[in-house]
């Protein structure tokens, strides 16, 4: 929910709690209502930009990999690793776009581990 400002204030003053703002959907809320509400929430992450699409597509790859991992036996092990690698590469990119060090470090380490495992599996298969 993005909020459009309907008031004109100077940089040094803060709007009063009675100031009404309008959302893109046409809803009207006072500043005080937003500050004290437990039902009005705003996502901290961007919506509709490139990172939003990469985030959701990467999440689908990771979820697909977990579904492969949950099956019995080693039949889906390679597919699990490949899907996990693609998902974690996407999340690394999202971390870079958001400048989020935790996402970058976590997913870069996972990409390295999965890449190493896939390379080892590849060399074992062809030697």
How high is the mean pLDDT in each 10-residue block of the chain (127 residues)?
55 70 78 72 76 96 95 87 97 96 97 96 88
Q: Which domain holds residue 27?
A: 3-36
Q: How far apart are CA 68 and CA 77, in angstroms?
A: 7
Cβ atoms of 30 and 18 within 8 Å: the answer is yes
CA dihedral (24, 25, 28, 30) positive or negative = negative
In a domain, 16, yes or no: yes
Q: How far apart are CA 76 and CA 68, in angstroms?
A: 6
Contacts of 94 (CB under 8 A, 6+ apart): 51, 54, 55, 58, 100, 103
In a domain, 42, yes or no: no
pLDDT of residue 87: 98
In this structure, are 118 and 65 located in the same domain?
yes
> Could you tell me the pTM of the whole model?
0.67
In a domain, 41, yes or no: no
pLDDT of residue 3: 58
In this structure, are 31 and 58 located in the same domain?
no
In a domain, 26, yes or no: yes
- Maximum Cα interatomic distance, the chain, rounded to a whole number of Å: 73
**Joined tokens for residue 82:** 């490949």
In this structure, are 56 and 95 located in the same domain?
yes
DSSP label at residue 4: E
In a domain, 79, yes or no: yes
Q: Taking Cα atoms as reference points, which of 115, 122, 126 lies closest to residue 82?
A: 115
Work out how many domains the chain is built from and give that number: 2
Q: Within a 10 A sphere around the Cβ of 47, how many other Cβ atoms? A: 10
In this structure, are 13 and 66 located in the same domain?
no
Grouping H, G, I as helix, E, B as strand and the rest as coil, residue 80 is helix
In this structure, are 65 and 28 located in the same domain?
no
In a domain, 45, yes or no: no
């Amino acid at each position: 929910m993005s909020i459009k400002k309907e008031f004109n204030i100077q940089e040094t003053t803060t709007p009063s709690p009675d100031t009404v703002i309008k959302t893109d959907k046409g809803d009207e809320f006072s500043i005080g209502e937003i500050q004290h509400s437990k039902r009005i929430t705003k996502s901290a992450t961007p919506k509709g930009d490139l990172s939003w699409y990469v985030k959701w597509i990467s999440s689908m790859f990771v979820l697909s990999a977990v579904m492969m991992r949950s099956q019995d036996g080693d039949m889906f092990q390679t597919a699990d690793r490949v899907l996990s690698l693609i998902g974690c590469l996407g999340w690394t990119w999202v971390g870079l776009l958001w400048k989020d060090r935790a996402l970058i470090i976590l997913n870069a380490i996972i990409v390295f581990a999965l890449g190493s495992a896939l390379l080892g599996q590849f060399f074992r298969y062809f030697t």
